[in-house]
Amino acid sequence: MNIRARAPLRISFAGGGTDVPPFPEREGGVVLNATIDRYVYGMLRPRRDRRIRIESADFGVALSYGVDETPMFDGKLDLVKAAIRELGDSSAPGYDLFLHSNAPPGSGLGSSSTVMVTLIGLLKEYHNLTLTDYEIAGLSHRIERIDLGLLGGMQDQYAATFGGFNYIEFDAGRVIVNQLRMADEVVHELEHNMLLCYTGATRRSDGIIEDQTRRLEEGGDTLAALRSQKHLAVEMKNALQRRRLNEFADLLDQAWQEKKRMSPKITTGFIDEAYAAARKAGALGGKVTGAGGGGYMLFYCEFQRKHRVAEVLTRMGGQVTEFAFEHNGLTTWSLPDG
């Protein structure tokens, strides 16, 4: 029996950074995001022996070890090893694991956390575990951020698990996922007017987050920008639910201006040039979708000028794509061999 799983990647509209410690514990964080039709896919196929074999198409890496062996954390698929260590059963047979994502690592779409969610979905089914969506997301966060010590926030794990449009609240020891019921015409209009641009460059987000955290402790612009992000997440949610999409686009621009105040590492020369060129061509608002420094940029355009924005970004070397929203979160299913 082959077990399959997929979990969607996300775009973040506002509030990113307020889910990164120590801000949520001190002041409470709020993030507005939505999942899109880009996914992390996984497959688990039981073996007859007691070996675990892992293959990642994205990193071009494969490795194998015994079920009762303790794998070494050496930078090669450590996320996968950590999930297996947490949920594994040394008395069970082995299996093959295969993982693939629609987006490159460091894309700003939450891919590493979505890998973890997908893995937990596969292992939950294989070991017949009963886990709620909150437990899956919380476990994903703990393994990635605490056990492995990888710096980052909490929104990605919950977005990938729950799916759809989410207004997520974070405070000390508690996360509340408010799933938003969006009017069909709002979703259609967002898809009609938005596009993604891959900058062709990624940067490790932990350096940006380290810098942001240090600046938060110093107060000043970073603290003020994070507080503004919270306010903008609320305003953007209200704009979407009231079907005020031009207002939403303007708030998206404001969210980007505030995000850049959190750390000078968030933007680059190319990102600034691409944003200015897109605005001149007809984009009403936009932002980088993740921690910053590269990856994907998101733009909201007047539809009749959207093609001009795409042309300008393409000439600059960006890879422009459209997308649709995905309303389902983590999904698992099984089918027989052959």
Rounded to whole angstroms, the Cα distance separating 69 from 254 reads 51
Rounded to whole angstroms, the Cα distance separating 160 from 34 reads 9
The structure tokens listed for 47 are 């073996």
Angle, helices 269-281 vs 303-315, to 10°: value is 150
Tell me the C-alpha to C-alpha distance, in Å, between residue 135 and each of 117, 121, 140, 162.
11, 11, 8, 11
Tell me the C-alpha to C-alpha distance, in Å, between residue 68 and each of 61, 89, 114, 132, 167.
21, 8, 26, 28, 41
Tell me the C-alpha to C-alpha distance, in Å, between residue 144 and each of 24, 140, 266.
18, 6, 22
First and final C-alpha spacing in the chain: 9
| HSE-CB of 100 using CA atoms within 13 angstroms | 6
- Active-site annotation holder among 37, 58, 156, 206: 156
Q: Would you state the torsion angle of the CA atoms of residues 215, 217, 169, 25, taken in this order, to the nearest 10 degrees?
A: 160
- Phi, psi for 65 (deg, rounded to 5): -155, 165
Q: Is 156 a catalytic residue?
A: yes
Total residues found in the chain within this entry: 338
Residue 261: CB atoms within 10 A of its CB come to 18
Measure the CA angle with vertex 254, ends 13 and 26; round to 5°: 70
**Residues acting as catalytic residues:** 156
